[in-house]
Amino acid sequence: MSADSAHFRLEEVAPGAWAALAGETGACVSNAGIIDLGDQTLVFDTFMTPEAGADLRSAAERMTGRSPALVVNSHHHGDHVRGNQAFGQATIISTDRTAELIADTSPGDLEAYEAQLTEWIASLDRKLVGSDRASDPLVHQDLELSRAMARSIVASLPDLTITLPTSTFADELMVEGSARTAKLITYGGGHTDSDTFLFLPDASVLFAGDLVWVGNHPWAGDGHPDDWVSIIYRMKELSPASVVPGHGTVANYEYAGIFTRYLTFLCDMVKQAEATSTSLTKLAETPIPPEYADWGSVSRYRSSLESLGSRVGLPPD
């Protein structure tokens, strides 16, 4: 049985549990999950647009035979919550802090937001087709994905209704179904100020949200990278076998070790720059270590370093 959409494909990660892996149309951007709990269906994250969210709801209905009653928002970033409105009367669950952040950071003035996005698309167009267009395939792919995302967001704005969580928790929430239990856990803020992951003890599968990225440079400019590393070590104590990342492919949990090395490297570079009063420009020019040379979303490496560097007050030049 297939319930793939133009925007994502499903991968079964355990009986009755699927990763919904984002394609390249720009409507999803991040991954999501569908979990059959036995007597109810849970969806983990809802993608970037209401259209992709609606396809996710349809896929969940097709795979589990019922409408999702529970929706989880792992954190407040738009590519994990903008599909919320597609889930009708479902209970939308997040941490208290994530609910606040969704309310505080969602665009209020949609016209101004659209104008910003249109300007961004024009600048991406110039970089993609201009005389000095990017020749590096990874840079080119990154620009194309960014443009697809920006276009999808613009197309989604006439239908977008910011839909907030309806039920919140502080540290941990056990969702007990007739066939399995899903544990929703937060260890505080790492990737953002508050990040939730979902663990299925019966299958040892961990849906990490953006706490783990596979084969992609993460956005690290919003959260607490030092704490992020500790959170991933703590997650390991649950003995997960596999991980569904927020971005990238499903991986063996061992992969989280590579990802923590990457985060540690970013933190070290920023600390070193701070100790030597290195400029932001110089920090952002730090070469990408060979181990991560083939990772996608390459512009995030630079933007994360710039953001972390400016937070510790590095001089611009």
* 183 contacts 198 by C-beta, under 8 angstroms: yes
CB of 274 vs Zn ion, minimal distance in Å: 25
Compute the least distance from the CB of residue 208 to Zn ion, in Å. 11
Q: φ and ψ at 312, to 5 degrees?
A: -95, 10
Rounded to a whole number of angstroms, the minimum distance from the CB of residue 122 to Zn ion is 25
Q: Which residues bind Zn ion (CB under 5 A)?
A: 77, 210
Task: Closer to Zn ion by CB, 41 or 196: give it.
Answer: 196
CB-nearer residue toward Zn ion: 7 or 180: 7
Tokens matching residue 172: 């941990």
Q: Please write down the HEC assignment for all residues of 163-221.
A: CCCCEEECCEEEEECCCCEEEEEECCCCCCCCCEEEEECCCCEEEEEEEEECCECCCCC
Q: Which is nearer to Zn ion, 173 or 208 (CB)?
A: 208
Least distance to Zn ion from the beta carbon of 276, Å? 30
Q: Which helix (H) or strand (E) holds 11?
A: strand 8-14
Report the residue number, 31 or 40, with the smaller CB distance to Zn ion.
31
Q: What's the rounded Cα separation, in Å, for the pair 138 and 141?
A: 5
In the complex, what is the shortest distance from the CB of residue 317 to Zn ion, in angstroms, rounded to a whole number?
Answer: 30
Burial, 162: exposed, middle or buried (Cβ in 10 Å; 0-12, 13-18, 19+)?
A: middle
Q: Which of 51/210 has CB closer to Zn ion?
A: 210
